[in-house]
């Protein structure tokens, strides 16, 4: 996770100074990693391999989820 997210390194502009921003960035990373990205060895997302979903989530779906939760 540290290699994919620059928020964990203090030498970049994206470093999280507030814990709330850091938690939100980590949560978004986990959603993308588990629901959107396809593993080369599995050829599906981890949630599809576990039987939790049957389709690949797109970035627009993630945006809709965040908009629903912010209201």
**What confidence tens digit (pLDDT) does each residue in 25-57 have?**
888 888 888 999 998 888 999 999 999 999 999
Report which of 24, 5, 4 is spatially closest to residue 15, judged by C-alpha positions: 5
Domain boundaries, the chain: 6-70
- Reply yes or no on whether the pLDDT at 3 is more than 80: no
Residues 6+ apart with CB under 8 A from 56: 35, 36, 38, 44, 45, 48
Q: Are 45 and 37 in contact (CB under 8 A)?
A: yes
pLDDT band at 4 (very low <50, low <70, confident <90, very high): low
- Reply yes or no on whether the pLDDT at 71 is more than 90: no
* Both structure tokens of 44: 């599906």
């Amino acid at each position: 996770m540290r290699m994919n997210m620059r928020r964990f390194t203090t030498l970049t502009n994206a470093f999280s100074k507030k814990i709330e921003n850091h938690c939100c960035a980590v949560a978004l990373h986990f959603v993308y990693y588990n629901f959107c990205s396809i593993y080369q060895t599995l050829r599906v997302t981890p949630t599809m391999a576990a039987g939790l979903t049957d389709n690949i989530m797109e970035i627009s779906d993630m945006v809709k989820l965040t908009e629903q939760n912010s209201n």
